[in-house]
Chains A and B, each alone.
Chain A
Amino acid sequence: MGHLNIKKWIALKLHQKVKRNNARLHELNYLFWECTLRCNHACLHCGSDCTKDNAIKDMPLQDFLTAIDEIIPYVNPNKITIGITGGEPLLRNDLEACGLELYKRGFPWGFVTNGFLLNEKRLNSLLNAGLRTVTISLDGLEANHNWLRGTNNGFPKTVNAIRLVSESGRLVYDVVTCVNQRNINELQEIKQLLISLNVKQWRLFTIFPVGRAAHHPELSLSDKQFVQLFEFIKETRKEGLISASYGCEGFLGDYEGEVRDGFFNCSAGINIASILADGSISACPSLRSKFIQGNIYRDKFMDVWNNRYEVMRDRSWTKTGKCKDCKSYCFCEGNGLHLRDNDTLELLFCHLEKINLGQQ
């Protein structure tokens, strides 16, 4: 890992000020709703610990809409995207009803899916409910996708879902791939598949040791493979056939500005909030336990948004452990918050450290 060149160093310094300003502004522009914990897959890496028949019941739509209606007087709905996540949102039969209510209120909305249940009829009904964005997970070619997702027949259905979304011509969408030891060497083939499906945006991310992944260390890339992934993304971006990017997590040192469209910026609690399945108010859905800021069944969402989230807006507390003496701390500020243990708040995964090891 070489030193940052002077141009990048200056740009990162400027970006540091942007991040501080954004923390002061604290403007909500993305709200996740964990609409269900039920799922029709059993992904090895899932951070939500979903099951097919989860003990936590789905939140009634009206409860979510009540929270949304409390937000409306304080915001411009057009500027807040509602991202519906799960679990698998398509398991909710009232997803369209939900979308239509959001649409009527002026919120752009989208959802994250494994695509298994997305057929032409369902997509059309979602489009009629004002669906704007979709994110579909494709975690490898057939064998590895099915392995990671704990399904026998998921791959063709997911590919079909990508095709339908791509052909609709009306959606902003991307495909996300969880890169692991089994699929790292088939990224070229996955790329060709996505290009053949006319996919324009491809987001690749790595697994961090939370949720089920904590019990499957083979899901994490080796240090060398980690660097291999960034080199692959760099190369793909140079080709210009598909816009590949690394997910939003992690400060990447020299790779900053090379493998994403912008610099590392953990917006959890700065611009992003979530309403979880049990009503908890958090930031990204993977931030739970000590990161929970309130609950819609007890608190007014905007009161929570305006008056809490200090743990995310002021991250000076993260300068402990391996972050304490890190020279890149000013750019990184403790890495993505979801990479910290939700209870002890200790850093579980340092991207920069792994890159350094991989480059040795």
Chain B
Amino acid sequence: MKQRLTRNLIKKYNNLLYVLIGLLGFSVACTKVQPAEYGTPSADFIVNGVVENQASQPIPNIKVVARWDSTYTAVDGKFSLKNKVSPTDQSFLVKLSDIDGVANGNYQNKDTTIAFTNNTFTNGDGHWYKGKVEKSVIVKLTSK
């Protein structure tokens, strides 16, 4: 944790130095180490879902996390998560947790895996962005 903080501070310090070098009238395009990053193939993987109890009633305010995106379910229990990653077969561990205690009911946390295989992407840009692919799920939570 401390090491990560230090690294972030160093990066911020570097950014400040880049600004100062730029203010002196010199290019910083190659100052940031190598001009090596030219982008990468990518696609949006979207998980649309509804969280319900065993009686199929929607549950609001459930925290939902899948890899780098997170959200809370709406009043109608719906959520949507999006991850921009490599356009290959992907699998996302979706973690659902009841973070508001007895409000909206008291439910057990749950993990579920959503797999994307043999994907058909839509709305790509014809270059490196392959587009998006969506999946819909209904997740049932059990009362504590």
A residues sitting closer than 8 Å to B (CB atoms) are: 7-8, 10-11, 14-15, 17-18, 21-22, 24-25, 27, 29-30, 77-81, 103-108, 110, 130, 132-133, 170, 172, 257, 260-263, 265, 267, 270-272
Contacts and interface: CB of A to CB of B under 8 A. Distances in A.
A260 B17 CA distance: 19
Contact of A130 (B26, B33, B41): B41
B11 interface: yes
Given A261-B29, A263-B30, 5 more contacts: A11-B21, A18-B18, A30-B34, A261-B30, A271-B33
DSSP class of A's interface residues: helix, strand, loop or mixed? mixed
A107 B42 CA distance: 10
Nearest to A82: B36
B31 A18 contact: yes
Interface of B: 7, 10-11, 13-14, 17-18, 20-21, 24-31, 33-42, 85-86, 88, 127-128
Contacts of A8: 24, 26
Contacts of B86: 77-78, 103-106
B13 A21 contact: yes
Given A17-B17, A104-B88, A81 B33 contact: no
Contacts of B26: 8, 11, 257, 262-263
B33 A79 contact: no
Contacts of A106: 40-41, 85-86
B83 to A, nearest CB: 12
A79 B37 contact: yes
A29 B7 contact: no
A9 B86 CA distance: 43
B33 A263 contact: no
Contacts of A132: 38-40, 128
Contacts of B34: 29-30, 81, 267, 271-272
A22 B14 contact: yes
